[in-house]
Structure 1
């Protein structure tokens, strides 16, 4: 459905520490390296880019905007949330069921150190 999502950062080294820990919990790695960018995802599939804004202005987060990342298990959602908090992120919604979406919707919400809102979600009822 999409090629990539880009989030802004004001401190790429701080972002790299955060995203390295958080993305590892979901089994995501950097398929290639770029100068002044952090990239996660599949070489030919969907990717997440973290970059300083191209216009040179400060990175800001969008109110009502978040990126939801698929997790294969509820344990991965839990690990994602814990890694985010341990690496400079903040809590926006502890891991748990959100049955108002559907019966097996298990998610957690965090903000990265730049204030971007992220979610990990598992749609399976298996742990």
Structure 2
């Protein structure tokens, strides 16, 4: 259903360092960068996650109630995502664990340096 997702940043260099450490835990890597955006995606797939400076040049802000969930192949990948985020300056918004949404919903939530709320979720039994 979704073609791509963007999150805003006020410091693209800092955001890039954060996402360069976090995204590989889920199988994504930086595939494109210029002075206004950085794109991440899986090898051989289109870029699906963008970190951008706002087009209108106003400061980037995060949305209250907005959370972007990225698919993780394993629960270990969710754990690695959470650990990498915290080790690179992210803040905890929900430690890795099972959630009541269904029997195999294993997720973790973090905020990046700009306050964007990002989750990694594995829905596979382990």
User: With structure 1 as the length reference, what TM-score do the two structures score?
Assistant: 0.93
Task: Find the aligned partners of 1:63 and 1:83 in 2 and give their Cα distance.
Answer: 24
> Who is 1:106 aligned against?
106
Structure ranking higher in strand proportion:
2
Task: Find the aligned partners of 1:34 and 1:104 in 2 and give their Cα distance.
Answer: 38
> Who is 2:125 aligned against?
125
Post-superposition CA distance 1:40-94 (Å, at most 9, x none) = 1156546111011010100000000011000000000000000000111000000
Post-superposition CA distance 1:3-22 (Å, at most 9, x none) = 11111000000000100000
> Who is 1:97 aligned against?
98
> Who is 1:78 aligned against?
79
Gaps of 5+ in 1: none
> Who is 1:8 aligned against?
8
Conserved 8 A contact 1:68-1:120: yes
Q: Assess, with a 3 A threshold, how the Cα gap between structure 1 residues 44 and 79 changes in structure 2: closer, same or farther.
A: closer
Alignment of 1:88 onto 2:89: yes
Conserved 8 A contact 2:31-2:47: no
* Structure 1 residues 11-22: aligned runs within 5 Å: 11-22=11-22
Gaps of 5+ in 2: none
Aligned pair count? 125
RMSD across aligned C-alpha pairs, in angstroms?
1.3
* 3-state SS in 2 of match to 1:75: helix
